[in-house]
Amino acid sequence: MNQKHSLSILGAGAIGCYTGGWLARGDNSVTLIGRPRIIEDIRSSGLHLESVSGVRATLKSDSSSNGNLSLSTSSSSLSESRFILVCVKSAGTEEAAEQIRSHAPAGAVVVSLQNGLGAARILKEKLPGFTVLPGMVTFNVVYRGKGLFQQSTSGPIVIQDPGGEIADNLQKAFEGPGLELEFEKDMESVQWSKLLLNLNNGINALAGIPIRSMLSQRGYRRIIAACIKEAIGIYKAAGIRIVRLGKIVPQLAPFILKLPDFLFFRVASTMIRIDPSAMTSLAQDLMAGKKTEIDFLNGEVVRLARSLGKEAPVNQSIVRLIHEAEETGAGSPEWSPAELARRMEL
């Protein structure tokens, strides 16, 4: 991994900058390719990383200390990349594929670290001359401004096991503090299982409050449980295997979420650590007036149901309400659990 700019982050937002920063902290040449605002913040203030456990690191751009970090706003910087981690929003996957096809060297390894299941499928379809690996980031990152990226929940990065030299090189790249890498042979089952846990993202956006505050209210948890329970039923009909994710057993989520508050936090505290201010990326996008990824989350459940001749009314309601909120451009409606349940006709 000693070739200059051998590893690039395409779509360097919160997740991309955090991941790329820790990779550059190790013995890797890393290029962050992102939007001008974040790139200029890092250029002027440096890149500051803080893990959920409190491990910190600071890197300067174009510096040979702590690895080699370069900054770019152009996909032409992919020209020397051996490994490309795709962190763009799912809706931008086709454009990302075209950028890779146009600028990256043939045979580069492309890893999708995006929400949902559709993004990796699009990359595989559009990039026949590349090795495309589906992957998944199981933690959240908050951008605090001035180049500071804070991990707000714990978890590893999971990538489909490619075996051989590719796996060895990825493992070496992820050595060091800040990141945990796991390889998974049955990545599709992992992605479907993680999707169950991401069905709360739209609810968080409609509530407009931090994840921890949302989960502290049983009314919101009941709505999340309804989304997950409906999806599990659709998965069963489709023959999709649900697998354990670290300490989390997704099949138990509906039961756990509906527990009384004092029992829920006793159980959930052993499953995940949540920064009190953390919000889902979908909530952040809605508040910023951006198009969200709801079609790749709850919308994926709706599509799966329809492919089986079934309906998914609970998840369809979340998709509908998010699209309505997007159209207003007013950010989150900040609905209470009772109001959200009423609008969903639960």
Residues 273-286 have pLDDT tens digits of: 677 888 999 999 99
Q: Residue 58: helix, strand or coil by DSSP? A: strand
pLDDT tens figures, 218-268: 999 999 999 999 999 999 999 999 998 877 899 999 999 999 999 998 888
Q: Residue 6: helix, strand or coil by DSSP? A: coil
Give residue 271's pLDDT.
Answer: 57
Which domains does the chain possess?
A: 7-185 (3.40.50.720), 190-344 (1.10.1040.10)
Query: Which is more confident, 26 or 241?
Result: 241
CA dist., res. 101 & res. 98, Å (int): 5
Tell me how crowded residue 209 is: count the other CB atoms within 10 A of its CB: 17
Give residue 272's pLDDT.
Answer: 60
Residue with tokens 């700019």: 5
CA dist., res. 197 & res. 141, Å (int): 16
Residues 6+ apart with CB under 8 A from 226: 254, 314, 346
Lowest mean pLDDT among 58-62, 103-107, 233-237, 313-317: 58-62
Task: Supply 169's token pair.
Answer: 């090189």
pLDDT tens figures, 117-173: 889 999 999 999 999 999 999 888 989 999 999 998 888 899 999 999 999 999 999
Tell me how crowded residue 210 is: count the other CB atoms within 10 A of its CB: 20
Give pTM, 2 decimals.
Answer: 0.89
Tell me how crowded residue 205 is: count the other CB atoms within 10 A of its CB: 27
Query: Which residue type, as a one-letter code, is found at position 85?
Result: L
CA dist., res. 268 & res. 117, Å (int): 26
Confidence tier at 4 by pLDDT (50, 70, 90)? very low
Whether the predicted pLDDT of 77 surpasses 70: yes
Q: Tell me whether residue 243 is exposed, middle or buried, using C-beta atoms within 10 angstroms of its C-beta: 0 to 12, 13 to 18, 19 or more.
A: middle
Please give the torsion angle defined by the CA atoms of residues 219, 323, 229 and 204, in that order, rounded to the nearest 10 degrees.
-40
Evaluate whether 298 touches 318 at the Cβ level (below 8 Å).
yes
Evaluate whether 71 touches 61 at the Cβ level (below 8 Å).
yes
